[in-house]
Amino acid sequence: MRFSEFASRFLLVRKCASCGELLPYESKDEAFCGECRIKWDVEKTRECGVCGRSVCECVCMTKALSDAGAICHRKAVFYSSSRPAVHNTLMFIKHNKNPRVTAFLASQLAAILRSDKDIPELCADNYVITFVPRGRRAVIEKGFDQSELLVRALSEKLGIPWAITLRRKRGGREQKKLNASQRVRNVKGLFEPVAALEETVGGKRIILVDDIVTTGASMAACISYLTRAGARETVCLSVASTENTKSNKKLSCN
C-alpha cells in the first residue's frame, strides 16, 4: 500500500457536513452520513408556499431580484436554523474549505440548472458564472470565500467559465445582522466592479451564485453592476433561500 493511499484511508478525517459524524473510507466522496443525506433529500422536496412546487423546482424570487431584472432564482433548499441538514451544512461551508462538500453542493446546483427547460441552453460561449463576494473581513479570517469555491466547482461541473466580477468595498455592516430595509440601504455602494468587467460579461448570460439568499438585496446590487456592464440577463442560483410564504409580499413568482 502506498503512503498516499494509507494516508487517505487511515489518517484523513472526513466528517458529515451536518452532524459531524466521522465517515468511513468507503464514503470518502460523500458530504453526509447516510441519515443526514436522507434528511437533505427530504429538504429538497419541501413545497414553496407561493407556487406550490418543490423547492428545487421553484423559480420564485424576492421583489428585489425581480426589480433588478433577474430571470429566475433557483435554489436547492429552503433555509431554517431549526433544520440541521440545512443550517449545519451552510455553517460548515462558511467555516471549512472542504472540496468534498463543495463538490456535492455544486453537483446539486448543476442538476437544478440542467433540469430547467426555461433557462436558455447552457453553453460555454454564452455564459459566465460569477458570485456575490463575501465580506473582506470574513475572507481574511477564514482564508476563503465559500461562494467562490462553489463557483469554481460549478464551473467544472457545467463546463462554463467562471470569473470574479465584483469585490466588496471596505466598510459596510454584515447583512445577516440587519433587517430587510437595513439590508437594502447597506448594499448601496457596497460593491465595486473589477477591471475590464465589460469585457468579461458584455453580451453574456450570467449565472450569479450565493450560498444563501434572504431578501436578495446583495444579489440585486450585483445584478445592477453586471447589467450596466452589458450582461444580457442573469440567472440567480443559491444553495438555500429564506422559505417562501403567501404572507410574504416581497416575492415574485413567474
Q: Mean pLDDT over residues 195-212, rounded?
A: 97
Residues found in the chain: 254
Lowest mean pLDDT among 75-89, 169-183, 232-246: 169-183
pLDDT at 6 > cutoff 90 = no
Lowest mean pLDDT among 35-39, 83-87, 167-171, 180-184: 180-184
Q: Cell match 489518517: residue?
A: 11
In three-state secondary structure terms, 229 is: coil
215 pLDDT more than 80: yes
Q: Is-contact 162 152, C-beta < 8 A?
A: yes
Region 37-51: mean pLDDT is 95
Residue-wise pLDDT for 95-126, tens only, equals: 999 999 999 999 999 999 999 999 989 999 99
> What mean pLDDT is reported for the chain?
88
* CB neighbour list of residue 120: distance below 8 Å, 6 or more residues apart: 126, 205
C-alpha separations of 162 from 139, 200, 201, 247 in Å: 19, 10, 10, 37
- Tell the residue number behind the cell numbers 479570517, with chain if given: 141
Greatest alpha-carbon pair distance for the chain in Å reads: 61
Please give the C-alpha separations between residue 159 and each of 100, 126, 147, 155, 156, in angstroms, as whole numbers: 19, 12, 18, 6, 5
pLDDT tens-place string over residues 64-101: 999 999 999 999 999 999 999 999 999 999 999 999 99
CB 43 within 8 A of CB 244: no
pLDDT of residue 169: 84
Q: List all residues 6 or more positions away from 196 whose beta carbon is below 8 Å from its beta carbon.
A: none
Class of domain 14-252: alpha beta
Per-residue pLDDT, 3: 44
How far does Cα 138 stand from its chain's mean position? 17
Question: How far out from the chain centre does Cα 117 lie?
Answer: 20
Work out the pLDDT band at 7, boundaries 50, 70, 90.
very low
Residue 235: predicted pLDDT: 97
What percentage of the chain has pLDDT greater than the value 90?
A: 77
Pick the closest to residue 85 from 17, 153, 138 (CA basis): 17
In tens, the pLDDT along 139-169 reads 999 999 999 999 999 999 999 999 999 999 8
- Quick one: residue 20, left, alpha or beta (phi over 0 = left, psi -120 to 50 = alpha)? left
Q: Cα separation of 248 and 225, whole Å?
A: 27
Q: Where are the domains of the chain?
A: 14-252
| Strands annotated E in the chain | 61-62, 72-79, 127-131, 166-168, 191-193, 205-213, 233-242, 251-252
**Between 137 and 86, the higher pLDDT residue:** 86
- pLDDT, residue 64, reads 93
